[in-house]
Amino acid sequence: MPRLRVASFSVSLDGYGAGPDQDLDHPLGVGGEALHRWAFETRTFRQMFGQEGGSTGKDDEFAQRGFENVGAWILGRNMFGPVRGPWPDESWKGWWGAVPPYHTEVFVLTHYPRAPLAMDGGTTFHFVTDGVESALKRARDAAGERDIRLGGGVATIREYLRKGAIDEMHLAISSVFLGKGENLFAGLDLPELGFRCTEHVPTANATHVVLTRGG
């Protein structure tokens, strides 16, 4: 069975995975971009956005690993866009332009129906209105023998954690404090959920930890 895993998810030293007041101008919340500086400098992330160059050290190795053996994605609605409530139309097609970086089937959790959206590069967004378990089942069907990557955001990861569905999490702990926003682990007991740290790699830009459930 394919694993459900989180990869390259950035958190602050005080545990926040997004800043407050997310909107079109601040898709990661106020101050949230600072969490991802380690990733923006890597060759993997620069290539995703059609740019050249970038670092090729440990940060890039972790970024690249996150895309290996991925057959489907699951996203919370905020990860798709800033639109709230019913879709006013179908003009919003994501944060990434005509060629999103997923290149697979992507299942977007939402309360409001919308027709599937096929994009260039092999990405098709499916809008799932009947809950996280349905999204996971559909993603497993789409992924086949490959893994499912859970892209976030924080609320979506917390919901799957509570259900005991996540098999592995790679977190990049950035050397910043946010003070407020969306805290990833508030009220959750990771040992009780069966997680242990299986990798711990510090770099100049972040500390990478891999948390694995069971085993």
- Domains of the chain and CATH, by start: 4-83+99-213 (3.40.430.10)
Q: 199 has which bridge partners? A: 210
Q: Residue 2 carries which side chain, given as an amino acid letter?
A: P
pLDDT tens digits, one per residue of 111-151: 999 999 999 999 999 999 999 999 999 999 999 999 999 99
What pLDDT, on a 0 to 100 scale, did the predictor assign at position 109? Answer: 97
What pLDDT, on a 0 to 100 scale, did the predictor assign at position 11? Answer: 97
Q: 16 has which bridge partners? A: 183
Asked if the model's pLDDT at residue 65 lies above 80, the reply is yes
Report CA 66 to chain centroid distance, whole Å.
10
Asked if the model's pLDDT at residue 96 lies above 90, the reply is no
Q: Do you know the residue count of the chain?
A: 215
Distance CA 128, CA 148 (A): 16
pTM of the model: 0.94
What pLDDT, on a 0 to 100 scale, did the predictor assign at position 58? Answer: 97
What pLDDT, on a 0 to 100 scale, did the predictor assign at position 69? Answer: 97
Distance CA 139, CA 142 (A): 5
Asked if the model's pLDDT at residue 12 lies above 90, the reply is yes
Asked if the model's pLDDT at residue 27 lies above 80, the reply is no
User: Over pLDDT 90: what percentage of the chain?
Assistant: 78
